[in-house]
């Protein structure tokens, strides 16, 4: 029998009529959206033409930025290892107990290691000693509470027989505990660092001059590569979220993305220095309070939904985000990014490089 909650129908609304009405609303909404897209292709460029695409890419930027500083949660702690150590020490010989107890002027591994090495050379118990001391303190004869909480199910005659078994168990537990302290890796790299690197690659790119450098994306604009036709050529689309935002929002008229970035209020024919920072600084920070996988999944869903087919005044057979003024997205009049090459036969959304980086994290 299903255990999930069964959705309820709002009170005072007949079931049949309610769902019929909902279906009609959905159909009307779809028709209006189609008409809106048709009208947009014919309308003159105006402020905010590409705002929906900008907000979608901003959500991807925020998710990637979150990944770039990701910190994996600590593994849950357990008292199991401490309990095993305590049982082990409780069965130790009196000689061992006295050695761990030490004396006021001779206590701890550094103080007694010479004594131990006389009996067993090449021994280093510096890592284990503090744990043994804690276990001894918890199980000492004057610690009645531990004895009450852990009553023996055997007699003293069985101690010698059990001592070896419990000691071997404690040694195995110690090795496992040590393994759990090691960082989780993928290949030769800690997985936490791998997530951070993938986040930076999604933000800024992973090839050539499109990389994360220092504390931010390397700035390749405002110099010899400032023209939109060069920087935003079709082959360069999808390399990074940052440059996709820049290419979509840089146009010669109006603030097509309605970003609020002051240098772009009246549009720009060239891509200015620090353009990525200028546009991404205006992105919302909603994903900062969301866990990373959820932030990535929501962002990719938003971007996928914002990619349209042949959206623009005369752009045919293109898969773009934003709005095209002509037949592509690299002209100064365009406010879009062309992902068409990534949607070729047997390919799709996940072939966009920065999307692939985020999917590898999620």
Predicted confidence at residue 119, as pLDDT, reads: 62
Instruction: Provide the token pair at 177.
Output: 């505990």
Predicted confidence at residue 226, as pLDDT, reads: 66
Predicted confidence at residue 16, as pLDDT, reads: 37
Contacts of 76 (CB under 8 A, 6+ apart): none
Predicted confidence at residue 316, as pLDDT, reads: 61
Predicted confidence at residue 339, as pLDDT, reads: 95
What CA–CA distance (Å, rounded) separates 226 from 246? 11
Nearest residue to 299 via CA among 70, 71, 54: 54
For residue 251, count other CB atoms closer than 10 A to its CB.
27
Q: Where are the domains of the chain?
A: 47-72+190-361, 80-181
What CA–CA distance (Å, rounded) separates 252 from 92? 82
Contacts of 291 (CB under 8 A, 6+ apart): none
What CA–CA distance (Å, rounded) separates 126 from 14? 74
Predicted confidence at residue 245, as pLDDT, reads: 95
| Regions of the chain with pLDDT less than 50 | 1-44
Q: Sign of the C-alpha dihedral, residues 263, 267, 273, 279? A: positive
The structure's pTM equals: 0.69
Nearest residue to 234 via CA among 339, 335, 348: 339
- Start-to-end CA span in the chain (Å): 32
3-state helix, strand, coil in the chain (%, to 5): 55, 10, 40
Instruction: Provide the token pair at 335.
Output: 């406010």
Predicted confidence at residue 184, as pLDDT, reads: 82
């Amino acid at each position: 029998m299903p255990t999930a909650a069964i959705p309820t129908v709002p009170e005072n609304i007949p079931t049949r009529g309610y769902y019929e009405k909902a279906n009609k609303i959905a159909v009307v909404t779809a028709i209006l959206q189609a008409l809106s897209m048709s009208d947009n292709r014919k309308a003159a460029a105006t402020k905010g033409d590409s705002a929906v695409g900008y907000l979608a890419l901003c959500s991807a930027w925020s998710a990637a930025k979150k990944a770039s500083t990701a910190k994996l949660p600590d593994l849950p702690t357990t008292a199991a290892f401490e309990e095993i150590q305590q049982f082990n020490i409780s069965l130790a010989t009196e000689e061992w107990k006295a050695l761990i107890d030490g004396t006021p002027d001779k206590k701890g591994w550094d103080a007694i290691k010479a004594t131990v090495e006389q009996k067993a050379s090449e021994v280093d118990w510096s890592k284990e000693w503090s744990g043994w001391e804690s276990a001894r303190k918890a199980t000492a004869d004057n610690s009645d509470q531990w004895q009450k909480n852990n009553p023996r199910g055997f007699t003293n005659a069985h101690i010698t027989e059990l001592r070896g078994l419990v000691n071997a168990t404690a040694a195995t537990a110690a090795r496992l505990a040590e393994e759990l302290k090691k960082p989780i890796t993928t290949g030769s790299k800690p997985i936490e660092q791998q997530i951070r690197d993938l986040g930076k690659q999604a933000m800024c790119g992973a090839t050539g001059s499109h990389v994360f450098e220092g504390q931010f994306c390397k700035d390749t604009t405002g110099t010899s590569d400032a023209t939109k036709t060069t920087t935003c050529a079709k082959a360069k689309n999808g390399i990074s979220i940052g440059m996709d935002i820049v290419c979509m929002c840089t146009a010669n008229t109006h603030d097509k993305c309605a970003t609020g970035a002051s240098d772009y209020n009246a549009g720009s024919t060239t891509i200015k220095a620090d353009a990525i920072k200028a546009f991404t600084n205006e992105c919302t920070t909603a994903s900062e309070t969301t866990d990373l996988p959820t932030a990535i999944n929501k962002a990719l869903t938003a971007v996928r939904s914002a990619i349209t087919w042949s959206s623009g005044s005369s752009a045919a057979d293109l898969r773009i985000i934003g709005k095209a003024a002509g037949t592509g997205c690299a002209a100064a009049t365009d406010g879009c990014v062309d992902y068409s090459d990534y949607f070729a036969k047997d390919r799709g959304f996940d072939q966009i490089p920065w999307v692939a980086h985020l999917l590898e994290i999620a």
